[in-house]
Chains A and B, each alone.
Chain A
């Protein structure tokens, strides 16, 4: 009986390795053992600045976890959402969350509601401020453009998977005078954020965001585990490059793609 589909053995072993790394690091973090700290990420420090600015100006904060369903970048966006929601609740600043995916919308509502509860201000939570706009890409975009101009958010935070609408939204946010922090893993869209936003989270930085902001040892532990995995990949790259130059990389490629 064939247990693995062709070419999936290496993938399985890799995921298993990741699981072990994450498990060990989370155990270490929970036990209070020393784990490395996450380096400074300017884009994430700017989130506090953006929330503070919105509070001072008495204008809302706009937040979006991106355009896709439950994919990695969306999870990253949902991971930062409680931090922003809690701060917004604490400072009594209106938070508008716009969502394109109906499932992500339901989870976003739960997250914001829970965050307001944890901030001790459950009465400030308004379900209508977590808005499912449209599941059509440019209908969503048109509606958010309208929200930017009508409600004039002073802070615009967009972390998740973004596609062709990224430039339109970020430009509209700039026009509305919002301080903007945006991040995505989509390499075909990051550059639009780089030119239009005040701070950009490049690729993997969005995955470290929730750990960086919350400073929770358990989340930090998982970022450390990811770093270990990246170091292994880096070492594999070096070995593979040397072996390829010596004409002996086939065995390694077969092993990885097994």
Chain B
């Protein structure tokens, strides 16, 4: 396939995907299925050549790390879901392992992130920004207390200040990320108009 054919194909699939903006139609459906099917094919290919084969050939056969058999067996147990009532409970071992791993990882490594955020808030007052920084952090945290009733002018006011501060931050983020998305669209339009149909030099 020549380079230009590839560019045309890319342009065509882009337009098919964008046709969704009008309404769902057969062209979008084809693009959607190509995307899902292609991703699945790539995933299978990648898993086989990047994970399964090197693990078997290098780690197990060449280096003799046969302990890899343990996670392999745990992983394979997931297929017992298709083995009927007598076997399908074994799939829960794989799930239990993954859920346990996920929960454990979160518990072990999440504090490291927010502990740093806590200590970063310890800033000496050098200007109004430092005071604002502290007040916004404290008020936002106060907003997320779910079992403390926000009754009375002070608690209500603090929670409202926290909420409004977050909304200001969301607005700023919305603006900047929308600009980033616009640049993506411009990049794609350049691809279509410059590389595919050569309308723009």
Complex Cα spacing A60 to B95, Å: 28
Determine whether the beta carbon of B122 is less than 8 Å from that of A37. no
Residue of B with least CB distance to A225: B147
Given A70, A134, A188, A243, which contacts B102 in the complex, CB threshold below 8 Å? A70
| Contact in complex: A71, B102 (CB < 8 Å) | yes
Given contacts A11-B115, A106-B81, A187-B169, contact A142 B17 (CB under 8 A): yes
Let me know if B78 is at the binding interface, CB within 8 A.
yes
Could you tell me which B residues sit within 8 Å of A by CB distance?
17, 20, 23-24, 28-29, 31-32, 35-36, 38-40, 42-43, 78, 81, 91-92, 94-95, 98-99, 101-103, 106-108, 110-112, 114-116, 118-119, 121-125, 134, 137-138, 141-142, 144-150, 166-167, 169-171, 173-174, 177, 181
CB pair B102 A142 closer than 8 Å: no
Complex contacts, B123 vs chain A, CB 8 Å:
241, 244
The smallest beta-carbon distance between A232 and chain B, in angstroms, is 10
CB<8 Å pairs between A and B, sample of 30: A14-B111, A37-B147, A41-B146, A70-B98, A70-B99, A75-B106, A110-B92, A134-B35, A134-B36, A135-B43, A136-B42, A139-B40, A145-B24, A167-B181, A172-B20, A187-B173, A188-B173, A188-B177, A224-B147, A230-B145, A234-B142, A236-B118, A237-B118, A237-B121, A237-B122, A237-B141, A240-B119, A241-B123, A243-B122, A244-B123
Q: How far is the CA of A213 from the CA of B40 in the complex (A)?
A: 36
Asked if A47 lies at the interface with its beta carbon under 8 angstroms from chain B, I say no
Given contacts A191-B170, A240-B122, A257-B115, contact A142 B36 (CB under 8 A): yes
Contact of A75 with B122 in the complex, beta carbons under 8 Å = no
* A120 located at the interface, meaning its Cβ lies under 8 Å from any Cβ of chain B in the complex: no
Complex Cα gap A70–B102 (Å): 5
A146 on interface, CB distance cutoff 8 Å:
yes
State whether B141 touches A69 (Cβ < 8 A): no
Task: Tell me, rounded to whole Å, the shortest Cβ–Cβ distance linking B106 to chain A.
Answer: 5
- Assess the B99–A192 pair: CB atoms within 8 A: no
With A and B bound together, what is the CA distance between A111 and B91 in angstroms? 14
Q: How far is the CA of A120 from the CA of B24 in the complex (A)?
A: 37
Among B28, B95, B124, point to the contact of A106 (Cβ < 8 A): B95
